[in-house]
Amino acid sequence: MSRSCPNCAASYPDETFFCGADGNITVQDQTESDFDPRLGKQLGGYIVVARVADGAMGRVYEGRHPETRARVAVKVLHEHVARDRVSVERFKREYEAAHEMDNPYIVDALEYGPTPDGSFFLTMEYLQGQELSKATSNKQPLAKARVIRITCQIACALEHAHSYGFIHRDLKPDNIFLCDTALGPQVRVLDFGSVKLQMETGAKLTALGTTLGSPYYMSPEQATGASDVDQRSDVFALGAILYEMLTGRIAFEAPSVALILMKILNQSPPPASGINPACSEAMDAVIDKALRKDKKARYGSARELAQALLSACGLSGNIEEWAERSEADIASALVEAANQAAKPKPVQPAAAPEVKPAAPVEVAAPEVSPRSSASNPPDTTMSRSSEVIVVPSNAPKAKLIVSVAIGVAVLCLLALLMK
């Protein structure tokens, strides 16, 4: 592709945005067989200068402000879509919700209005990078550090939207754009078009969503057509997206919409740790809780889910901190956390047994009998508790031994004389 200056007709490569001769904004060249009358025209405050992509709902253009030369994306509904009231209302709601919220992880919507050819346009910030769906299209797990950064950023975006009372209701990898930055992917959550609209035009919008969108990330309550959809439906979708980032596989995959919804209502995906060895059982538990069939059993908010993921990976701190950390810093922190977890815990020495003090020994003073004399000293007694031990004097014992010895000697002498 090439571009030309509308003033001097000088031709330039497609990546040259301004004319080198007069500084005018260049416009993408066209062929007669693929002519787009919007190129070179102004929609709102911006000139449409190039075609970027075509989607199911509309065509996306590159736009430039004629004075500031700021670069934007201009999304215009296809002619047949612009004739559908629900599609137009959804498109308008996409603008209103994104324009009202000011968050670094939600796409910034600038203008909305009708086009001269009977359609409608939406101007938003120009994003460079790729959708999350393309990042996971190779069916391989993303690096854990990248998953943590992306999950925390999505959770910050949802937390902000939920604080306004906005429930996304159509969160999926196609609606999560990853901008290229030096720190790692920077999330922009797109397409808040189903915000508040589902309850107002439920049946028709559901049919449209089935045709144009993907049911893989739909919560059980949405699958059954319940009207009490709240922020926990977005939590379910984020849990399914987290599973896909960690395993490279869609959590509820089947060949038809009916079978997908049956799985969502009745089955759970295999544990992520059985597919990706980098996942732990603690991470399995986080995903399991996020994907509970009963919304009351899930995390109450996207923040709680992301915070639980951090804890399961051995990381502390709030999700805003980790959303801003570079991917390299997060990878280093994960290594450090793993090393800390692998260290053997110090063995605490056993507490010494408690030694109870011995009972006090009371020594009784010797009692002196009135009949005792110096030659016959009184016995001494020792009392310990109620036990009394009597220790006799050694003097009478010695006298007895002497008497016995003398008696034996006399008997031996008499025996000799009788012979």
pLDDT for 380 equals: 45
161 and 256, same domain (yes or no): yes
In a domain, 394, yes or no: no
Residue pLDDT, tens place only, 69-101 = 999 999 999 999 999 999 999 999 999 999 999
In a domain, 228, yes or no: yes
DSSP letter for 373, please. B
CATH number at residue 171: 1.10.510.10
204 and 247, same domain (yes or no): yes
Q: Which residue has the higher pLDDT, 242 or 400?
A: 242
108 and 151, same domain (yes or no): no
User: Is residue 105 a contact partner of residue 187, using CB atoms and an 8 Å limit?
Assistant: yes
100 and 160, same domain (yes or no): no
pLDDT for 381 equals: 45
220 and 264, same domain (yes or no): yes
In a domain, 388, yes or no: no
In a domain, 28, yes or no: no
143 and 270, same domain (yes or no): yes
The residue out of 72, 104, 125 marking a domain boundary is: 125
User: Is residue 96 a contact partner of residue 197, using CB atoms and an 8 Å limit?
Assistant: no
Res 212 pLDDT > 50? no
Res 141 pLDDT > 60? yes
Q: Which alpha helices (H) appear in 229-355, and where do they start and end?
A: 231-247, 257-266, 281-290, 302-312, 319-324, 327-342
The amino acid sitting at 382 is M
CB atoms within 10 A of CB 231: 21
In a domain, 197, yes or no: yes
109 and 176, same domain (yes or no): no
Expressed as residue numbers, the domain containing 204 is 129-340
Spatial CB neighbours of 378, under 8 Å, sequence gap ≥ 6:
366, 367, 368, 369, 372
304 and 245, same domain (yes or no): yes
In a domain, 104, yes or no: yes
Residue pLDDT, tens place only, 304-339 = 999 999 999 999 999 999 999 999 999 999 999 999
73 and 196, same domain (yes or no): no
The amino acid sitting at 196 is K
Tokens 């007669």, residue located: 32
Q: What's the number of domains the chain is made of?
A: 2
Mean pLDDT of the chain: 85
75 and 114, same domain (yes or no): yes
List the catalytic residues.
170
What confidence category does residue 373 fall into, taking pLDDT thresholds of 50, 70 and 90? very low
What confidence category does residue 395 fall into, taking pLDDT thresholds of 50, 70 and 90? low
In a domain, 9, yes or no: no
120 and 157, same domain (yes or no): no
β-strand 176-179 against 129-131: which pairing, if any?
antiparallel
CATH number at residue 81: 3.30.200.20
Mean pLDDT on 51-61:
92
The residue out of 104, 125, 146 marking a domain boundary is: 125
In a domain, 295, yes or no: yes
83 and 141, same domain (yes or no): no
The residue out of 100, 125, 150 marking a domain boundary is: 125
| High-pLDDT (> 90) share of the chain, % | 71
| High-pLDDT (> 70) share of the chain, % | 78
